Amino acid sequence: MADTMQFDLVSPERRLASVKATEVRIPAAEGDMTAMPSHAPVITTLRPGILRIISAEGTDEYAVTGGFAEISGEATSVLAEEALHVSDVTQEVLDAFVEKAAEALRSAKENGDHNLVDDAAKLMADMVAMGDHIGLTAKQPQA
Amino acid sequence: MPNLKDLKNRIASVKSTRKITKAMQMVAAAKLRRAQDAAEAARPYTERFNAVLGQLAASVGSSDSAPRLLSGTGSDKVQLLVVMTAERGLCGGFNSSIVKKAKTDITRLLAEGKTVKVLTVGKKGREQLRRDFAELLIGHVDLSAVKRLGYADAQGVARDVLGRFDAGEFDVATIYFARFENVVSQVPTAQQIIPAKFETEEGAETTLYDYEPDEEAILSDLLPRGVATQIFAALLENGASEQGARMSAMDNATRNAGEMIDKLTIEFNRSRQAVITNELIEIISGAEAL
């Protein structure tokens, strides 16, 4: 069994990371999952959260806001809508994310679509949780 | 024959024009490199995305439950043309070649009895289309404030298009942009984005994936993003094409200005000599008369 796999993190604008990883923790839509070499092929969507890549060089973390991941035995690719290295996530960035989510929640409430309200509420909770993980406290927005 | 003063002024003005076009060419060259880099950097995402989406689309197939973005509305009566051009001129035939392609298609579609709607991205295309098809324009996306094209800009355009699709405003959407071949050649291209079309590679090795959540949920999540991704890729290509076109247009302009300066300088020297000869004749014949 190979002990590393090719890992790529790409956003629409650029390729953020391309390394040989031993383990990748992915914030998948239905719960966190860890991809390791020889994982069964899976395609999953992402929720906002922290993507952790563990390779021989150490551990690296990225904040992603959504997208999807393609996992196969030899390679894992994460196609993130927006991805930032954790060190680039500042209070302002987080506030902007949370504000955007809160905005979506407000407009969903106005439309009265319960599914959308639930989705948006979840999105916002994910964003706030992401901030907690990084050690930033999201300003409680007016939802 | 224009007098010496006029010629001198004209040479000076053409010289400053040449300076401007030369500067614009160099700016375009620098921007072109950046635009090409951006297009290059976006490629892995687009390729991956389309591969996954193509695979998903193939496995869901044309079942009844397939999302409408994939299967279409079952009609092609109302066509939406998204025409992407530059915000600025002075880039040779770049804008007009895209508009020309769009116009040909509009005329053809109208002749086939279809309803045509046009959404413009970029000021120049809108100006040109307004002359002939003002009543078909349904919207405009202004990107003139955008310095560096980001994915968010493409998402904005995509949201506009998807909103109209959900509201049932059209059946088929096609984007028009210029594909960047090289600096001297940009090919106006039409690409259908709704319903989504994928080139499925025959015989390509397909891995059987598990899907989480199920295939259709993923597909309906990804298809709108696919639209944004395609628009983003097109906008980037367009950006590179625009700078390429501007660079070669300005290169030509600089060369023409140089030729003009040479011609004017020769004319200037001739007239100067003629004036001197004239003066000499006057002096000599004056001296002889004494």
Asked if the structure places residue B181 within a domain, the reply is yes
Asked if the structure places residue B24 within a domain, the reply is no
Q: Is B41 on the interface with A (CB under 8 A)?
A: yes
Instruction: Tell me the nearest-neighbour CA distance from B9 into chain A, angstroms.
Output: 49
How buried is B21 (Cβ within 10 angstroms: 0-12 exposed, 13-18 middle, 19+ buried)?
buried
Among the partner residues B44, B225, B228, nearest to A10 by beta-carbon distance: B44
pLDDT tens, residue by residue, B107-124? 999 999 889 999 999 889
Domain that holds residue B205: 33-246
Question: What CATH number did the domain enclosing B81 receive?
Answer: 3.40.1380.10
Among the partner residues A11, A13, A44, nearest to B212 by beta-carbon distance: A44
Asked if the structure places residue B180 within a domain, the reply is yes
Instruction: Tell me the nearest-neighbour CA distance from A120 into chain B, angstroms.
Output: 14
DSSP E strands: which ranges in B25-114?
78-84
Residues of A in contact with B34 (CB under 8 A): none
Asked if the structure places residue B212 within a domain, the reply is yes
Asked if B151 and A11 touch (Cβ cutoff 8 Å), the reply is: yes
- Residue B251 — φ and ψ, nearest 5°? -65, -45
DSSP E strands: which ranges in chain A?
5-10, 15-28, 31-35, 42-46, 49-55, 58-64, 67-71, 75-80, 83-85
The total domain count for chain B is 1
Give CA–CA dist B63/A60, Å, rounded: 42
pLDDT tens, residue by residue, B126-164? 989 998 888 888 888 888 777 778 888 888 899 889 989
Give CA–CA dist B83/B176, Å, rounded: 5
Distance from the Cα of residue B163 to its chain's centroid = 24
Alpha helices, H only, A23-113: 91-111
Given a cut of 50, is residue B203 above it in pLDDT? no
Given a cut of 90, is residue A95 above it in pLDDT? no
Instruction: Tell me the nearest-neighbour CA distance from A56 into chain B, angstroms.
Output: 24
Higher pLDDT, A105 or B139: B139
Across the range A25-41, mean pLDDT stands at 88
Asked if the structure places residue B17 within a domain, the reply is no
Size of interface A-B (CB pairs under 8 A): 75
pTM, two decimal places: 0.84
Question: What is the DSSP annotation of B177-188?
Answer: EEEEEETTEEEE
Asked if the structure places residue B273 within a domain, the reply is no
Provide the ipTM. 0.77
